[in-house]
Amino acid sequence: MKVSLSLEKSDSNDLSIMVDVLRASTTITMALNHFKKVIPVVDHKEAIKIASEKEAIIAGERRGATLEGFDAGNSPIEIQKLKGKTLVLTTSNGTRIMEGMKSQILVGCFTNAQAVAAAAKELANEEIEVVMAGVEGRFAIEDFLGAGEIISNLQNENLDEYGQAAVMAVQNKDLVEYNILKSRSARRLSEIGFKKDVEFCLQRNISDNVPIFREHSLEKY
């Protein structure tokens, strides 16, 4: 099985794992404890329309800040205080990345790294592509390290050199956490009151939920 790592754009027609550690991947993973499905939407006005039509809970952010009038932000902590059949979620990066993928799509992060890696091995035919969401087209160290945590559970496969580098980068847990806490994304979130979200997103393997994208929504695999 070939395992590759890419930024933002996906070339795979087989299986991809979208990684947006801070915070879309983590929020989606934890939301599936309380919602049957999550509908990711790029445009926030479209998200409002869909939530109204489906009588759904709506959550979302732009540049980390909660959108005005929404039930919650893109927060894995806030989202666990809500429940319902459907959650509509709009975010700056993660939801946008999924829209451009041609393959089967799973969502991964630190909180479900082992579970999403196991599911990927079950579902993929020849290739697993791990796709870092990044931030507005830029490399984000938290997504590189989150991808490394997932790929470390796929080390018996044929890793490309980016994947090998990501695995090496996550060998020291303390160093991983130190660098994520100092990242641009984490500093921004801390400044606007979401430091606890950042700390939550660093927890390893606390969930067996594996979000899979089917018919425009994410459900448990």
Q: Each residue's pLDDT tens digit in the chain (221 positions)? A: 999 999 998 999 999 999 999 999 999 999 999 999 999 999 999 999 999 999 999 999 998 999 999 999 999 999 999 999 999 999 988 888 888 899 999 999 999 999 999 999 999 999 999 999 999 889 999 999 999 999 999 999 999 999 999 999 999 999 999 999 999 999 999 999 999 999 999 999 999 999 999 989 999 99
Residue 9: inside a domain? yes
Q: Which of 39, 62, 92 marks a domain boundary?
A: 92
153 and 187 inside one domain: yes
Which of 45, 70, 92 is the last residue before a domain boundary?
A: 92
pLDDT at 97: 86
- For residues 86 and 35, is the Cβ–Cβ distance under 8 A? yes
Instruction: Please tell me the predicted confidence (pLDDT) of residue 94.
Output: 83
Residues spanned by the domain of 87: 26-92
Q: Is residue 176 part of a domain?
A: yes
Residues 142 and 204 in one domain: yes
Under a CB-based contact definition with an 8 Å cutoff, are residues 207 and 197 in contact? no
Same domain, 99 and 170: yes
In angstroms, rounded to a whole number, what is the distance separating the alpha carbons of residues 74 and 180?
18
Considering the domain architecture, whether residues 75 and 172 belong to the same structural domain is answered as no
Inter-CA distances, 50 with 41, 64, 94, Å: 9, 22, 18
Last residue of a domain, one of 92, 107, 140: 92
Instruction: Tell me the two tokens of residue 153.
Output: 């559970």
Helix (H) or strand (E) holding 73: none
CA distances from 208 to 10, 112, 180 (A): 25, 6, 23
221 lies in some domain:
no
Co-location of 141 and 195 in the same domain: yes
Angle between helices 141-151 and 173-181 (to 10 degrees): 150
Q: Residue 211 has what DSSP assignment?
A: E
Q: Per the domain annotation, does 219 fall within a domain?
A: no
Asked whether residue 218 is assigned to any structural domain, the reply reads no
Answer yes or no: are the C-beta atoms of 150 and 113 closer than 8 Å.
yes
Contact 79, 30 (CB under 8 A): yes
For residue 138, what is the DSSP state? B
Torsion sign across C-alpha atoms 191, 194, 199, 203? negative
In a domain, 39, yes or no: yes
Chain CA centroid to CA 97, Å: 10
Within a domain: 155: yes
122 and 182 within one domain:
yes
Residues near 178 by Cβ (< 8 Å), separated by ≥ 6? none
